[in-house]
Amino acid sequence: MNISVLGCGRWGSCIAWYLDKIGHNVISCGLETAPELIALRDTHKNDYLTYPESIEVTSDLEKAVSHAETIIISISSQHLRSYMGDIAKYPLEGKNIVLCMKGVEVDTGCRLSEVVSSFVDKDKTPIAVWVGPGHPQDYVKGIPNCMVIDSDNEEVKETLVNEFSSELIRFYIGTDLIGSEIGAAAKNVIGIAAGMLDGIGYTSLKGALMARAPREIYRLVEAMGGNGISAYGLCHLGDYEATLFSPWSHNRRYGESHAKGEKFEKLAEGVMTSKALYKLSKKYDVEMPITTAIYNILFENKEFKTELSSLFERSVKQEF
């Protein structure tokens, strides 16, 4: 399959590396001035991996789009709408668009597939999402994992699962696009909470966090019309090890740094996602105490231990 991966960051470069490794014809495309693109173009390396010569690296978006049967996008979620404005200048009919990114648009509350669908006809340009656990640092060592591809288009997601599966990644066919997207986005918020617990030395509380967080994500997914059980699948709970415990997780490290009063310079998608989910909780009248606590800390300047205490002071209720 001819594939173009748009985005040259940590995950985008890993996707390009992986798809080339299993036999696809891959172009890796990024912004001309981006340090990530420059490093890959000039050295075929970054901090995580080395590209083989078979991967073409370019900043020519028109070339990348025209090359592809399947376009994979892996960029910051809050920049997707503006980037789609550039992509949509070129013919997209008959191509698949796959989103390998996790977030919710803050200004609109739109899921990322909804953002893309405002630029294309989904019947002519099917949209899919690729979510689940895994880190480039592990994949390049040959450590396998399981992931999910979901879409409203049954034929497309089954085709992509068959084309992308290998001994390194076992793909499952998703059955709930709403749940897959919301669950994947929300796990980054829970990752920040886990990092904050690490930062104040309350690591043992991460067990309770893992048990309670999917409950509130379940409620939001159901309220939005999805299947709440998706919160317990690979998109959310299944990604917890890679997000709540891994030294590679940007969101967990961001939370830990925040709790310690230190700066963390890399992208942590969970920051803006906490704001988006907080707004969705109000829109759908869903109780989301953990998400609300993280929102209050990051955007209302509340102190972490104060918010943690408020969670413990909530009224007594049955677990299920």
Report the catalytic residues: 187
Helices and strands counted in the chain (H then E): 14, 8
Strand pairing category for 127-131 and 169-173: unpaired
148 near 235, Cβ under 8 Å? yes
Q: Is 131 left (phi over 0), alpha (psi -120 to 50) or beta?
A: beta
What number of other Cβ atoms are within 10 A of residue 310's Cβ? 14
First and final CA of the chain: distance in angstroms?
46
- Six-digit token string for 192: 């920040």
Which of 136, 140, 147 has its CA nearest to residue 246?
Answer: 136
Range 74-91 burial, b when 16+ CB lie within 10 A, else e: bbebbebbebbeebeeee
- Six-digit token string for 263: 């700066």
Q: 127 has which bridge partners?
A: 97
Please state, in angstroms and rounded to a whole number, the distance separating the CA atoms of residues 251 and 244.
Answer: 8
| CA-only gyration radius of the chain, Å | 19
User: What stretch of H or E contains 56?
Assistant: strand 56-58
Residues found in the chain: 320
- DSSP, collapsed to helix, strand or coil, labels residue 271 as helix
Q: Tell me phi and psi for residue 60, to 5 degrees.
A: -85, 95
- Six-digit token string for 220: 């939001």
Which of 281, 283, 248, 278 has its CA nearest to residue 266?
Answer: 248
Q: Tell me phi and psi for residue 101, to 5 degrees.
A: -160, 155
